[in-house]
Structure 1
Amino acid sequence: MRWPRRLRPRSLRSRLVLIAGLLATSAVLLCQLAGLTVLRGWLTDQIDDRLSHFRPPGRVYEDMADDGTPRPPSPDNALPSDYRVFFYDEDGSLLRTSLGSSDSPGPRLPQRAADLDLAAGRPSTVPAEGDATGSGWRVIVHSGPDHMRTVVALPLDTVDGATTKLLWLSLGLGIAVAVGVVALGNGAVRLGLRPLTRVEHTAQHITDGALELNVPVADPDTEVGRLGLALNTMLDRLRTALHRTKTSEAQLRHFMADAGHELRTPLTAIQGFAELLLDEPDMPGRRRQEAHALIAHNADRMSRLVDDLFLLAMLGDSPAAHREPVDLLSLAADAIATTAIRHPQRAITLEPLATHPATAERDLDIIETPGDAHQLVQVLGNLLSNACTHTPADSSVHVRVGATRTPTRGDLGSGRPLPPGTPVCVIEVADNGPGIKPDEAPHVFDRFYRATPLDPATGSDGEAGPEPGSGLGLAIAAAIAAAHGGRLELDNHPGEGCTFRLLLPDSTTAPKDDTDEAHHDPPHT
């Protein structure tokens, strides 16, 4: 059944109350209807039993006069007042005279016995004579002597009265139940839906902008409680996503500002020298060559900056594309040789990784890890270039290669820390320079961030004021390490130097010469 749109309840509370009222009223009415049917059948059976056991006395047929007028019966043969007895003569005609009380209309019987649609000895119901709205009669037909037939009738007014009273009682009880269910059910539904109402109000406040709220959860074992838990989980994820979006937008704006600033410097230099060459066509050859060299230098600087930005974008979108076994010892040796060409006065050593004082004299071993050799070479090149650029010329650089397990305490680093005790391959680039300021150390892996050495007057190989880099070298190294499933860490000691540590997953096994390596940190240089 579909309710009209105007009469259809809109709230869940109204629907629940309406459904409960309809169900309770229907149940009461059905029970009363069943009781009414059983009662009427039982009363009718009582009347049928009385009819079946009653037969007119034989003297009634003998005393019947020829004109159809019976003689008054003796006291022993007197009929009860509620019985009616009708006779059909041997010709099948209904006699006008009947036995019994004549205060109320009798049953409606046909004038001929042939028209009687009644089975002999089986009670049936016929309407009252002359009153279509009155109570009916229960009749039974018996055969008499000389082909006579007798119809015995009892009124059904007692049955109809009892069933009518019960019917009105059922209707009144149904109405009372409906009113009671609506009145009490409304309060019960309000009480039961109170947790859902609190969820509704909280959700409305959250919609209005109060994103810090959580949906109240009274009982997590109920449907409303599970709904509240699910909504709170959604809210936590929403807040996390919004926070990430805001952080990402802020980082993007900062990144674009830094990138624009870094690109503007070489572009301005190129534009200035190009205009100088155009404005002074008669410039001496030496000055012209110097201008061309500066234009080429700034163009190269801008090209390297764009390449670094492109590499960072690629590393952020996809993991390392090429994976093969890489010998970290050979990579470290090649990177040292390449750096030594650019910094011939720099003392750079290749040493084994000392994970414990007892293993300090161990030899260099081949350390393999799956990865992209080209990208790992770039990481080592960036770390060595960073160490040579920001430390005095007399500072030595130590490169250590080995395998160990991650300690229980991690140093400053980029990305998510590896679980303690994880087998890893390690490359350390350590120097004994001035180190990094403690407040700047946590930001060395940020893009376009340039840390200030504790002794800024000393540059690469004794040159004062080294040319500032783009601030992307360590960010690229950290991104490559993360793409390989590893991590880049910083162990900073102001005034004594710093150590950059590259941790990569070990695809084989951890060192077996010292079972306690997981409980010791790598040594500080």
Structure 2
Amino acid sequence: MTAGEPSARTRALSLRTRVLVGLAAIALVAIMAAVAVTVTTQHYLVSQVDDRLLAFSGPSHGTGLGDADDYVVSGGDADDDETSGSSTSTTTDWWNERPSDAVRGLLTETGTLVVQFQPNVYGEERFDAPVINPADLSRTSLTYLTSRAPGDHEYRVLAKPLSSGWEITAVSLEGVRSATQRLVMIEALGIGALLAGLGLVAWWVIRLGISPMGRMVDASTRIANGDFDVRLDAATSGTESAALATSLNTMIGRLTDALSERERSEARLREFVADASHELRTPLTTVLGYAQLFRRGALTRKAEQADAWSRTEAEATRMKRLVEDMLELARYDAEPEMHLAPTDLARVVSEVLNDAARVHPEVSFAMGGPGPLVPDVAGAITAQVDGDRLRQAIINVVGNAAQHGATHVVVTVTQESRGDADNVRVEVADDGPGMTPEVAARATERFVRGEGSRSRSTGGAGLGLAITAAIVEAHHGHLEIASVEGEGTRIGMVLPMVQPRQ
């Protein structure tokens, strides 16, 4: 693991846990900083008190401190002790008159504190001297210590060793304790506000960022299990989770469409294979049957042999045409090479209708309405197309109309504008039997025929419109089919007049 790379344990933590751990670490650092500030401040205030004690204590001699007999015993009653009045000599009147919160006295080796000077700044409050254990004091150097007094008071004490005990100077720590308590209260309020803010941030981050991610994980799991109807939901727009949900929903939609299209393609492929097998089986069976008859000598007469060979040739021709149609569709699926040139579509349609009129004399063909078919009909409409392939497409549609029982076929060529593009519309309308909506919706699929049976009385294998649609799409156009059962069919080929650049 390289430097700075998270450990495996850290990578295993969820995003929610990482956020909470991070915020908890911030809170812990804030609390530790507050504790450090409090302790440091308290030590600083106590050190200031120690400096005051050293200044108050002064030299050990020449300050009016005498022997222990000259001191007032702590806790004694001045009215009951006649010597207490005499102990306050004139040499200490200046100290009594000076405002001070310091205590001065002598601590004997037996632990008795004899007080000479006591605080005079606390009014009439009873003074309780600190309790000092001589065992805690040094006999050779100054001693600083904190001592308690009755009534839950604390004193900071400075003890100077004397020949008969210790000279004691003490100052109340009430100010230090009060300042420390105020500091702790301020820090507690600040830390409380910080924790509340961190909690609000954690809630906000988890609600807006992590909770939607959790919902997306659940939805993704359901999608992975095959439920493609699930969509991801992000409660708030404009966030990264919302953008991710939108992107994933788009991806899921495309994946669902792709899977649905694949299923449809597989179904069409199975149907195509079945139809192609069916279409090829009949001519192959015919050819094989006549070949077996000829091999066994069943065809002895010349007339029978001629008929057999004629039927065999017809079925072989049908099979050849079917294979060529399938190869043609395969070429269009592989993006065929187009030879585009300016082509007069009205002339192409006129030629196709003239040829169809000779092949199907029982059907009336017209261009744009009844009338004679002449090459130079009503004005030229020119488009950039492959004339040979487009001619094949028109022949397929017109031939289908004639073969499926139409008595009148009308072809119109018009120019129309859609948006910024100019298109040409070649529409073939007939009065044939028409198609059901189901068949019309699938008319451009391969091996789809209008009749429900497999009869070939009308000819064709159901590939004509599929080839027509492929040709029109190769020209960047589209095929429109409108059919009403019993009333006829209208098929429109919409082509751009100028081909778009690839």
- How big is the alpha-carbon RMSD for the aligned residues of Structure 1 and Structure 2? 5.4
Aligned pairs (5 A) from 1:392-431: 395-405=407-417, 423-431=422-430
CA distance in 2, matches of 1:245, 1:479: 19
2:271 paired residue among 237, 254, 272: 254
Cα pair distance change 1:53/1:438, threshold 3 Å: closer
Q: State the match for 2:340 in structure 1.
A: 323
Unaligned runs of 5+ in 1: 61-73, 84-100, 110-125, 129-136, 139-153, 355-361, 407-418, 457-463, 509-525
Matching of residue 484 in structure 1 with residue 501 in structure 2? no
CA distance in 2, matches of 1:298, 1:437: 30
The amino acid across from 1:253 in the alignment is: R
Cα pair distance change 1:282/1:489, threshold 3 Å: closer
Q: State the match for 1:121 in structure 2.
A: none
Q: CA offsets, 1:398-419, max 9 Å, x none?
A: 332231346xxxxxxxxxxxx7
Q: Percent identity?
A: 28
Cα pair distance change 1:270/1:102, threshold 3 Å: closer
Q: Report how far residue 481 of structure 1 moved.
A: 1.4
SS in 2 for 1:470: coil
Cα pair distance change 1:6/1:424, threshold 3 Å: closer
Taking structure 2 as the reference length, the TM-score comes to: 0.63
CA distance in 1, matches of 2:15, 2:378: 76
Aligned pairs (5 A) from 1:327-366: 327-343=344-360, 346-351=363-368, 364-366=378-380
Cα contact 1:352–1:365 (8 A) shared by 2: no
Cα contact 2:409–2:431 (8 A) shared by 1: yes
Q: State the match for 1:391 in structure 2.
A: 405
Cα pair distance change 1:36/1:353, threshold 3 Å: farther
Matching of residue 448 in structure 1 with residue 462 in structure 2? no
Matching of residue 211 in structure 1 with residue 228 in structure 2? yes
Q: Report how far residue 249 of structure 1 moved.
A: 1.4
Aligned pairs (5 A) from 1:103-118: none
Matching of residue 367 in structure 1 with residue 381 in structure 2? yes
Q: State the match for 2:326 in structure 1.
A: 309
Q: State the match for 1:297 in structure 2.
A: 314
Q: State the match for 2:20 in structure 1.
A: 17
Aligned pairs (5 A) from 1:50-449: 188=203, 192=207, 193-280=210-297, 283-318=300-335, 321-343=338-360, 346-351=363-368, 364-391=378-405, 395-405=407-417, 423-436=422-435, 440-449=439-448
Cα contact 1:365–1:402 (8 A) shared by 2: no
Cα pair distance change 1:491/1:196, threshold 3 Å: closer
Cα pair distance change 1:3/1:57, threshold 3 Å: same
Q: Report how far residue 43 of structure 1 moved.
A: 5.4
CA distance in 2, matches of 1:232, 1:53: 81
Cα pair distance change 1:294/1:9, threshold 3 Å: closer
Q: State the match for 1:87 in structure 2.
A: none
CA distance in 1, matches of 2:217, 2:349: 63
CA distance in 2, matches of 1:402, 1:4: 73
Q: CA offsets, 1:81-115, max 9 Å, x none?
A: 899xxxxxxxxxxxxxxxxx996667999xxxxxx
Q: CA offsets, 1:232-290, max 9 Å, x none?
A: 33332332222222212111111111111111111111222222222228733333333
Cα contact 1:328–1:401 (8 A) shared by 2: yes
Cα contact 1:270–1:295 (8 A) shared by 2: yes
CA distance in 2, matches of 1:212, 1:46: 77
Q: Report the number of matched residues.
A: 412
CA distance in 1, matches of 2:10, 2:412: 83
CA distance in 1, matches of 2:436, 2:5: 76
Matching of residue 27 in structure 1 with residue 44 in structure 2? no
Unaligned runs of 5+ in 2: 64-90, 96-101, 106-131, 145-156, 159-168
Q: CA offsets, 1:119-140, max 9 Å, x none?
A: xxxxxxx999xxxxxxxx99xx
CA distance in 2, matches of 1:201, 1:497: 53
